[in-house]
Amino acid sequence: MHSPLHSEVIMGPVEIEPGLNALQCPVSKGFWIPLQSYLAWRERHRDRAIPLPSEATPVGEDDSARAALFCPESGCLLQRFKVGQGLPFRIDRSPVTGGIWLDQGEWEALKSRDLHAELHQVFTAGYQKKVRSAQLQQTVLQTFQGKIGDEDFVKVSEFKSWLTQHPRSRDIICYLLDSEKPEA
């Protein structure tokens, strides 16, 4: 089977984890994981729970500008899915065969976030919605931090935390919104 990244290169068999057989591109060191191989391996890891997407220290490289790849099994275009969890890369998956392409280092990065045994969840609508929501929340925070300034943003964040815990938070918010605004 030919590599999605290097169409002239034949991939060779490799075992990523005990019992998880894949094909590896000798040039890019990426892995093609056939769906049946992944499902058989995953069956032995059923008791694992997938963590919710959250922002963390980024691992890996942002590959969002990379050209689309072709499935080595079916020849169709691979679909790209955001991983989240502080991982900036996307995972390529065949919509026809369900096979997965991982670039070099991505399996290790997935393991570092304990996502490798629940990789199939990354392709679900619910998971992708959580990734987009976490990304939007991070963008909103960065936008306000840029507008307010780093030092004041820390103070506002502390106030916000205090306010959300206060039993009369609604009254305080109404007071703040109803108060006369200072003239500019």
User: What are the pLDDT digits (tens) for 137-169?
Assistant: 989 999 999 999 999 999 999 999 999 999 999
- Residue 80 · residue 158 · CB < 8 Å: no
Hey, what's the torsion of the CAs at 19, 25, 30, 34, to 10 degrees?
Answer: -40
Question: Does one domain contain both 145 and 94?
Answer: no
Mean pLDDT over residues 25-54, rounded?
80
- Mean model confidence pLDDT for the chain: 87
CB atoms within 10 A of CB 33: 21
Question: Does one domain contain both 162 and 118?
Answer: no
Domain that holds residue 56: 12-130
Residue 47 is predicted with a pLDDT of 60
* pLDDT above 60: residue 52: no
* pLDDT above 60: residue 5: yes
- Is 2 contained in some domain? no
CB atoms within 10 A of CB 32: 25
Question: Does one domain contain both 45 and 100?
Answer: yes
Percent of the chain with pLDDT over 70: 88
Per residue in 53-83, pLDDT (tens digit) is 444 434 455 666 778 899 999 999 999 999 9
Question: Does one domain contain both 69 and 110?
Answer: yes
- Is 16 contained in some domain? yes
Residue 177 is predicted with a pLDDT of 87
Question: Does one domain contain both 52 and 112?
Answer: yes
Residue 64 is predicted with a pLDDT of 67
Task: Give DSSP secondary structure letters for 63-104.
Answer: -TTSPP-B-TTT-PBPEEEEEETTEEEEEEE-TTT--EEE-T
What does residue 53 show for φ and ψ, rounded to 5 degrees?
-60, 135
Per residue in 104-139, pLDDT (tens digit) is 999 999 999 888 988 989 999 999 999 999 989 989
Q: Strands (DSSP E) along the chain, which ranges?
A: 12-17, 20-24, 31-33, 79-84, 87-93, 100-102
Domain count, the chain: 2
Question: Does one domain contain both 123 and 145?
Answer: no
Question: Does one domain contain both 38 and 23?
Answer: yes
CB atoms within 10 A of CB 106: 24
CA distances (Å), origin 57, targets 46, 53, 109, 128, 146: 27, 13, 11, 19, 20
* pLDDT above 60: residue 49: no
- Is 21 contained in some domain? yes
Question: Does one domain contain both 53 and 116?
Answer: yes
The rounded radius of gyration (Å) of the Cα atoms in the chain is 22
- Is 151 contained in some domain? yes
Mean pLDDT over residues 48-53, rounded?
47
pTM: 0.72
- The residue whose two tokens read 């997965």 is 100
- Residue 55 · residue 82 · CB < 8 Å: no
